[in-house]
Structure 1
Amino acid sequence: MQLINALRAALGDSAVLTGPEDRAPFERDWRGLAQNPAVAVIFPQTTAQVTEIVKLCADNGVKIVPQGGNTGLVAGGVPAPGGNQIILNLRRLHQIRALDPVGDTITAEAGATLHAVREAAARANKLFPISFGAEGSAQIGGIISTNAGGMQVLSYGSTRAQVLGLEAVLADGRIWNGLGALRKDNTGLDLKQIFIGAEGTLGIITAATLRLYPAPSAQACALAGVADVAAALELFTRLRHQCGPALTLCEFIDGPAMQLGAAHTPGGRLPFGAPAYVLLELSALDAAATPAATLERLLAEALESGLAQNAVIAQSTREAQGFIAMREAVSEGELREGGAVKHDIAVPLAAIPETVAAIETLVATKYPDCRLNIFGHLGDGNLHINIRPPAGQTLASLATRKTAITIDVEALAVARGGSFSAEHGIGQFRLAGMRAHKSAVELDLMRALKAALDPQNLLNPGKLLPVKDLS
């Protein structure tokens, strides 16, 4: 094929995979729910090579699927049905270009893993606050393209809030160098915002300048047991009122989800049983501060009032990491034990208890043979509603009901002023939600941007916008 020969000439044979067995791991999403063939998998090492790939594909009428660590949950980084696509994997574009300890910024290429960026920041006694379980694989370009969240959005905001500048290759092959590090730049449209959360449909992010923060000097982590999500929300509200931004993590995990996470964490052990759990973290910049003492006092008050049923404060960094690891292992546990129909909703904080109650009623009455896991980021209203097949069965047993389940769950969230996708994005799996819940005006605005920046629909086709809306 002419394109493959041209790509090999430009990048070298090792940077172009065409064999079915070589391509397969990159064609399949993390959960194994989507797998469609690509013409090839390409591994550029420089932004200039990305430009060359884009131009070659445009000339040959071949679509491009930008891919990072392929850890997403909506199949946004793998080919959609339709063929004639290459996967442009950015893992070789992984340099940390600069770190400015005075300006508190780091400039990293798109293929740098989240772990690598956090480690580089830590070596300079700085913090990059985006954190989630897949940080060893997830890449900066994909994290920005999906506007990923994580467990510390409560204090620091989502990925969008961390991006000061971007470098991106456009669909016509031009490079936009917007790698500024300014906190203030009021010179027209903020172009980087167009690409953040666009899932690679408007341009291919190749590097980013990101905010850093002073690393905390003292932290305390605790696991509290509560009766239900209403008690969890009240506990969060009390802590937020008394601790303000020092409350850097507040996660809700129902009992079944936490038990599953513990079972799939090496050495995982819950210190006590409870109907539901709240995972908490307080942080302080002042080395003389005592967040552990503050947390002990506040949790003692919660226990005395009956708001909490039990609580344990981690006595070491290792124990704190163990609590967090059990929370992060829930999704992996679900996958290993048959999978789940996953939902990533957000609702206003005050609506969390009634939303959870409505979902519990929905499952009990309409899908009584299914098992329900609910966990998520309590402080920002983001809940992961995962409906599992009956014990001993796989996700295939829910094939005929999967669509109906998702329609029901998304409708409950949207009816309460919420979103059907809080941090996972749209990809291939949330297109029906876009059709159902986005207004004609919103979709028209998105289509207009797509048509202006990518008139050939070259970049990541079949993602973000419903396929039927683009030729």
Structure 2
Amino acid sequence: MSVSAATIVDQLTALLGANAVIGEPGQMGIYLHEPRKRFHTGAAAVVMPSSIEQVQAIVRWANAAGVGIIAQGGNTGLVGAQVPLRGDEVIISMAKLDRIRAVDTAAGTMTAEAGVILENAHAAAEAQNTIFPLWLASQGSARIGGLLASNAGGVNVLAYGNARELTMGVEAVMADGQRYQGLNSLKKDNTGYDLRDLLVGSEGTLGIITAATLKLFPKPEDYETTIVNIAGPEAALPLFELLRARIGGRLNAFELVPHIGLEMQLKHGFLDSDPTAGASPWYALIEVARMQGGEAGSLMSAIETAFEQGLIDNAVFAESLADRTRMWSFREQMSEVQSKEGASIKHDVSVPIAAVPQLIAEGIAAGERVSPGIRAVPFGHMGDGNIHFNFSQPEGADPKAFMAEYDEKLHEAIYEIVLKLGGSVSAEHGIGQLKVDLLKQVKDPVALSLMRTIKTALDPKGILNPGKMLG
């Protein structure tokens, strides 16, 4: 580092004031400790700008000084994009840029700053009888800027798309401190390259998103939610095809969960009661939105047809908001509950929907070959082909020894299957620092070359989230 940490703190304090700068390592914990506890590198400083102009000032300073900067939202990312890699970077917390600037129900848009917590965005939309449909387990702490930077997915991708598809325009600070003013609500704007799509999903390596115009949708009158018992993923595929044909775009979610996930949650008190209709090898959590004036019972009718065709053998429907909440808790707690069972090895992958049963069958078999006694816990978004293919250590195994012996071996085994099936090794979590080497192995060389060209053009000094995504 050409500039010492002490000098960085002094210069940033002079720029922003002492209350906006954290220079003491012992006070940086919440900004450094990411959810999976895989990365343990310190930072030169943490800064907390309270305006776009302050973000610009920080970036101009960093560009002149050659200091790396990392934009951070709610610190909920799972691949280490939002935490330091080298130890000499400055973290820019976007938490204070948390205004909802406007809600335009006629245009169906909301303009929100990068620090807005997703749950608060939901509340702002619902206050106008609309919804912002990006919905994921960390919505109480995840912030808009980070969600867009990572092109987050969630459980409603099937009906509404991922973060990129939910974004109309963005405002961003570029590497030289210039402010890109790309906020708009135009459905048609054919005036050149789409810089919005370039910045969304770039993990802060091309620019720092400071605000976005987001799509809003009419608020459903109600939801029909059910958990059905199925024999396995091979039965889930024709069930999904049946529902898609019968219900179409109102099919919000089709989530697949194995029985072991229910066992773990009941064992560790994550659920106060069993939300399913009874024991089954696998479950599918299905939800349909009923719009204003729409006829109730379309999901029930489709499920009855599925019974007749032998695709399912039992089902339970939510009869209250409490039932629906319990059903969704069952799905959303799947990743967290694994921490109670010792070490876990996790994969965020996607394959064509028709290949999901093959992925799960071959992945389970591969896990058992690599580590006899390992517990496969694959679950996730069957409706868009995104499976969180997780494994828990064998019961009674030593967690550290398990990770040391099997982490890389399992990654290789699962990624080999995914690539064979024409899938992606990162479906919705991104690349960050966790998958930099993996990206180099699997990405088309021409695509990598073009990505590096873009990075060099927009960030010639390499100050924006250095070392992430492209290394």
Q: Which residue of 1 aligns with 2:465?
A: 460
Q: For 1:401, what is the secondary structure of its paired residue? A: helix
Q: Which residue of 2 aligns with 1:10?
A: 15
What's the offset of the Cα at 1:257? 2.1
Q: Which residue of 2 aligns with 1:40?
A: 45
Q: Which amino acid aligns with 1:302?
A: A
Q: Which residue of 2 aligns with 1:182?
A: 186
Q: Which amino acid aligns with 1:286?
A: Q
Q: In 2, are the aligned partners of 1:341 and 1:395 still within 8 Å (CA)?
A: no
Q: For 2:204, what is the secondary structure of its paired residue? A: coil
Gaps of 5+ in 2: 1-5
What's the offset of the Cα at 1:66? 1.0
Q: Which residue of 1 aligns with 2:110?
A: 106
Which of the numbers 87, 97, 120 marks the counterpart of 1:93?
Answer: 97
CA distance in 1, matches of 2:56, 2:381: 38
For residues 40-91 of structure 1, the C-alpha deviation after alignment (integer angstroms, 9 at most, x for no partner) is 11111111111111112222222111111111111111001x2211111111
Q: In 1, are the aligned partners of 2:257 and 2:378 still within 8 Å (CA)?
A: yes
Q: Which residue of 1 aligns with 2:323?
A: 319
Question: Is 2:421 aligned against 1:405?
Answer: no
5 Å matches for 1:144-223?
144-223=148-227
Q: For 1:83, what is the secondary structure of its paired residue? A: coil
Q: For 1:14, what is the secondary structure of its paired residue? A: helix
Q: Which residue of 1 aligns with 2:3?
A: none
CA distance in 1, matches of 2:272, 2:234: 30
Q: How has the CA–CA distance of structure 1 residues 446 and 232 changed in structure 2, closer, same or farther, with 3 Å as cutoff?
A: same
5 Å matches for 1:327-406?
327-393=331-397, 395-396=399-400, 397-406=402-411
Which of the numbers 435, 441, 451 marks the counterpart of 1:436?
Answer: 441
Q: In 2, are the aligned partners of 1:258 and 1:277 still within 8 Å (CA)?
A: no
Question: Is 2:145 aligned against 1:141?
Answer: yes
Q: How has the CA–CA distance of structure 1 residues 72 and 411 changed in structure 2, closer, same or farther, with 3 Å as cutoff?
A: same
Q: In 1, are the aligned partners of 2:343 and 2:403 still within 8 Å (CA)?
A: no
Q: In 2, are the aligned partners of 1:91 and 1:111 still within 8 Å (CA)?
A: yes
Q: For 2:180, what is the secondary structure of its paired residue? A: strand
Q: In 1, are the aligned partners of 2:370 and 2:406 still within 8 Å (CA)?
A: no
What's the offset of the Cα at 1:304? 3.3
Q: How has the CA–CA distance of structure 1 residues 261 and 448 changed in structure 2, closer, same or farther, with 3 Å as cutoff?
A: farther
CA distance in 1, matches of 2:141, 2:392: 25
5 Å matches for 1:256-271?
256-262=260-266, 263=268, 265-271=270-276
Q: Which amino acid aligns with 1:132?
A: L
Identity %, equivalent residues: 38
Which of the numbers 259, 272, 278 marks the counterpart of 2:284?
Answer: 278
Q: Which residue of 2 aligns with 1:73?
A: 78
What's the offset of the Cα at 1:145? 0.4
Runs of 4+ in 1 over 6 A off after TM superposition: none
5 Å matches for 1:294-305?
294-305=298-309
Structure 2 length-normalised TM: 0.96
What's the offset of the Cα at 1:218? 2.2
Note the aligned Cα RMSD (angstroms).
Answer: 1.4
Structure 1 length-normalised TM: 0.96
Q: In 1, are the aligned partners of 2:74 and 2:141 still within 8 Å (CA)?
A: yes
Q: Which residue of 2 aligns with 1:237?
A: 241
Which of the numbers 17, 21, 28 marks the counterpart of 1:23?
Answer: 28
CA distance in 1, matches of 2:279, 2:346: 25
